[in-house]
Structure 1
Amino acid sequence: MEESAIPSVLIVQLCTSLLIALQDHSVCIILSNLTFQSAKAKMWSLQNLLFILCIALRCVTSAVGVIHVTGYVGGEVNVSCSYNEGYESYEKYLCKNGCGSDDVLITTSNSVKNKYRIHDDKTARIFTTTISDLQSVDAGKYWCGVSKNWNDIYTEVDLKLVSDSCCDTVTKVQSYEGYSESVSCRYESQYQNSLKYICRGNQPSTCLQDALITSDTKLNGRFRLDDDKVLGTFTVNINSLTQNDSGSYLCGVQRNSELDVFSAIELEVEEWCCVKSTKINGTAGHPLTLQCPYPPQHWDNRKFLCKGDHRNNCSDMVASQSRFTLQDDAASSSFIVRITKLEAADGGTYWCGSDSQWRFGNYTKIELSVCLHCTSNVSLGTTAETQRTQIPDSALCVVHVAPSVLLLMSVLVICCL
């Protein structure tokens, strides 16, 4: 009796079941031992169909799950595949397409080839292939393979590539030179125990390796990181800001099996240019009084006067010099500093204020000039001139009479002789 044709839907179902069942090595063996129908049979038997299908698939054992990997264009990615105990000494490889001999990209017997590197951790039973210099054409389906005699073990890998930039939304932060500024970065609750970090720039692929600070270190120079796991926010504080700190930053949260999560910050640090400034002249040896206004809300703050070319590096004169005394007048929201006996060395730049954080607009810049011997504005000439004596008319008469008198005196002397 002739066998009826197998419906196409049934063939699809059988093929699907076969692919799942192929995880068991014995399936191919069982199918290979199936008895052929008579060679004269005009219709394919179910056993023959399954056998041919098995041969067509090369009796491949395929994992049910697919490994999903995501990488950045221009960066590199690691593809890690596990295998069962007993296969430690077998060759492993990564391939594409149909995994023919021309489709094998790299093997453990030749661990470095072009932009591929492979490493087999036999203790963990995981082999990892690194693909560098990723391009858009590298996206797609790959297979992790473990070589066997005639039925290699395969695991499907799906590689997705994204642009190495971030993000659609950018938080802008503005500050001033010398300030301390805090940058807050939120994260989801499932990442409470994940590594947090911040880096400069806008390149996620290298952010972690270029991190300025991480939640493991917590303190690094001018940077401090605090993680509030209850609020799901980590905060990075940057001290003593300079204009060089301006630019793009990325807050990162590490994820082991996926790409890290990022949020973008744009920090603008402006020059502290618009502080109130005044110029004062003083005379050496004389007293001098400096007046410094402050915001009314600072009435209870510590007031001070410091000297130095830059506010970030100046000396508190009231604390270090007995000639300087400070008196606060809360009623007028100002304080005065008296210098009892001004010295030439007192000249220079002073900063008086009432906020230790150097908040913008709360300070007065004083340029003090000290003169040793202050004089009037009359200019004294330095060019030597010939001195001429003006003689009165009466004096000139004496000069003209003098010869007659001398003649008369001469005659009298002769007569007496």
Structure 2
Amino acid sequence: MRAAITITFFFTLCLMSVFYRVKGDPVLVLNSSQSSQSSEEKFNLTDREKDHFTVTIRNISAEERGVYLCGVERDGSDDRPSKTSITHITFIKEIELNVSSQISSVQVEAYISKAVFITCKFPQEFIENKKFIQKDSSEKIPVDEQNRWVRHDKVLMYDDTSEGVLKVFIRDLTAADEGTYRCGVNTADDHLFTEITLKINQADHFHASNESAAVIGERVKLSCSYPEKHETIKHICKENNEKICQSISSSEKQRFEFSDSTAGVFTASISNVSLRDAGVYWCGAETRDTYLTSVSLTNNHQLTLTMIRREGDSVEIKCPYDENHTKEIKHLCKGKCFTPDAQNIIRSDEDYVKNPKISVKDDTALNLFTVTMTDLRAEDAGKYWCAVKDAFNLPIELMIITKDAVTHEASVGGSASISCKHIRNQAQRLFCRRDQLNICVRDGVHVSSNNRTNGRFSLTEETSAGVFTVKISNLRAEDSGKYWCAEESSGSLIFTEVQLHVTGEMTTSDTKRETSPEKEKPGFFCQLPEA
């Protein structure tokens, strides 16, 4: 980009104005008698005022870098010197002109309270050079270290020498973050930069933060919002330990699929979910320029993992930790560690012989703390937290299916009454139909303590007897399938499986059995074990 610069110098004597450019040898001179007034000249000296003169340099380029001197030329009198006068020059001011080379200029839009991720690309020959960020006219913020994240107030920067880029991440955006930024690299002469105009949109119409749970080995879908008004690339990234949202690695991307749901909303699906997928994900839109890529992050998901086991099974809970915590004591707790209601399961320095059902392994080479629990019981259901000092992993939810599965047969057109015995009076009672238990509870609930009637399904409670009963009326052939009666308390979910078979047309005797009190079927029980 070429521009013009105007420099104004003040003096008190009405003498010949002189502007010097010092660039090696010789000294280049421009004075008011030699200056052309043509606007096409490279240098234009205007000396029309009593106490100052102005020099304009057009089409600025790197060649105009250097030291300039301004002064007045005189021959000892107060008059302007003549062509034959013997003169001398009094210097008034010295100025060093730095000319920066702008690579490109890009506008980036982001949203209040959200985050933005910017990647600046530089020519290959400057990969090892020091990078910087500069906002408006403030001082440069240097990136003093390479290949690691460096924080300056809210701005986090990463000088990636392997890719020759500078990464910039700003979260929790406010109106004060709006402005013009320079994303630059220092060169031998001066520096190169990309100018970024960051606009912070005040209206936040995107979905709030969401919590999602996924069953290990299954698929999970995350609903994401993005700006509609631009042609953008759908983007998802995952927070690291420093809460910086980084792109999904190429080896993992093959498990991610994107599909449009409605205008401004897309779905990101993760297949074959594993322990490494737990974490906080940000969705948004990516826009690309030749030298800059920006990602406007608009909403996030906290993805926790669910493990489903039956009574008597075993489970391994793996807890990765930072290498700085290798020598620290690791904890596994039921409930968030170090809180009054948390139950300590085991510590890395404890002898697990105290409880033969629990064993522990701390692999310092892999930075992985693993707890194995055997012979599971219903009361083992709940959320488990791994912790090292004040650092926590996201909880892992353990759901338990009781041993006592129930099978029941009924006829089309009739009704079925399903009685479920619960353990705790304060628990939430649920009845649902889905193969995946976590989806059954969150998205497939037919009736619950909070929603007792739903179409042909109704729920009644007998608190004193510790039983809740679900009635399904006007049975259809398609009602055949797997159901679950469940109890939830403080994140602890216990299930009993129910298989319902609906067969044939209802006969006269079926009608009498269903409506006659003395001949009515007693139903069947989803009995949850006592605590």
Normalized against structure 1, the TM-score is what? 0.41
In terms of fraction of residues, the more helix-rich structure is 1
In terms of fraction of residues, the more strand-rich structure is 2
Normalized against structure 2, the TM-score is what? 0.34
